[in-house]
């Protein structure tokens, strides 16, 4: 494949980075393309945690094809790492390989790197530059940037509603307001996240699995249930297979032991009101290396998360129908003044099947 300019090279590197959308967490999704004399001689994407990063993959690919990378240009979607984690520094590998130039979309927000990788390359005589297609690289790793900069995940709250904002009838029936294409698209958003969060009310009402089923994925996100009083039934489908985190506000040693024996974990995070401290939960998830958190809950927990300032982005599917008096998306207090409204910004609006998908953000990073 021929690369005519830096823009072509970085666009291809981003395509390779996207191949790791479902697999690289907690590491960022990084793609690397090595170009020499206008031809692509090596490509790579960061592998699952503990395995080779994109730069090492691309160098190995070039070697396997019999190419000499000395003097070549590497296009990489994030600054090469400069520290020993589960794997050695990628910057060292690039220096040893004799690259002539490295073009990075962004510097790494990880304080262990933060410009040091590029500095090492420059000190070795390799020409470096940053900033090309930075916005696209950032969007691909928005959760990683959130965790590195704020110590908490990027929180995306998903809701599916009628055009008048209703998510279910008062009797709880909600299947299906949106169409099959929107539901499959929602599963794709599930698949890219590190964890899916819901509340005990949804578990009791719908008994969801909270798994990715409509798209192919090599791994399932972690499941998390906010359950202040630890009421969850041992037979709940969200516990199938173990590995679920149940976040509670009160201890119940016998039930905790039973849940633990089934492979689940209870996390106690009470606030002064005897509920789960949601802000503290976000900090705890950051410590547990959760980059992106996907919320699919009822209006009460949705409203509580918004009031606690825990939601960064709304992922809303609107169906072209009217339901009338029913259950809404968010249980928020009534306002007496419009200037107290919570302002968001539309990030993307797209039609998916017959429905409308809206991404709206509270908090730009």
Active site residues: 55
Closest residue by Cα to residue 108 from 149, 53, 155 = 149
The token pair at 11 is 């666009």
């Amino acid at each position: 494949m021929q690369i005519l300019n830096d823009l072509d090279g970085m666009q291809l590197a981003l395509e390779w980075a996207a191949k790791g959308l479902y697999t690289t967490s907690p590491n960022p999704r990084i793609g690397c393309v090595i170009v020499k004399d206008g031809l692509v001689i090596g490509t790579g994407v960061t592998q699952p945690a503990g395995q080779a990063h994109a730069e090492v993959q691309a160098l190995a690919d070039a070697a396997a094809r019999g190419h000499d990378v000395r003097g070549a240009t590497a296009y990489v979607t994030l600054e090469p790492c400069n520290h020993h984690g589960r794997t050695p520094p990628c910057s060292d590998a690039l220096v040893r390989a004799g690259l002539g130039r490295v073009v990075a979309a962004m510097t790494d927000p990880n304080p262990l790197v933060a410009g040091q990788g590029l500095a090492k390359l420059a000190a070795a005589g390799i020409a470096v530059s940053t900033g090309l297609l930075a916005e696209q690289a950032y969007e691909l790793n928005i959760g990683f940037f959130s965790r590195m900069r704020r110590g908490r995940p990027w929180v995306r709250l998903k809701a599916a509603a009628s055009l008048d904002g209703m998510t279910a009838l008062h009797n709880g029936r909600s299947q299906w307001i949106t169409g099959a294409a929107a539901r499959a698209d929602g599963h794709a958003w599930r698949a890219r996240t590190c964890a899916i969060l819901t509340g005990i009310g949804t578990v009791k009402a719908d008994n969801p699995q909270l798994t990715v089923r409509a798209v192919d994925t090599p791994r399932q996100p972690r499941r998390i249930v906010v359950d202040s009083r630890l009421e969850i039934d041992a037979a709940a489908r969200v516990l199938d297979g173990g590995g679920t985190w149940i976040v509670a506000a009160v201890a119940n040693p016998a039930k905790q032991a039973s849940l633990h024996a089934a492979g689940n974990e209870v996390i106690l995070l009470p606030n002064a009101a005897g509920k789960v401290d949601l802000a503290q939960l976000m900090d705890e998830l950051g410590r547990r290396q959760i980059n992106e958190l996907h919320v699919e809950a009822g209006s009460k927990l949705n409203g509580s998360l918004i009031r606690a300032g825990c939601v960064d982005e709304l992922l809303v599917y609107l169906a072209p129908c009217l339901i009338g008096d029913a259950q809404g998306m968010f249980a928020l207090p009534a306002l007496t003044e419009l200037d107290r409204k919570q302002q968001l910004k539309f990030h993307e609006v797209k039609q998916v099947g017959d429905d409308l998908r809206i991404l709206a953000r509270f908090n730009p990073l």
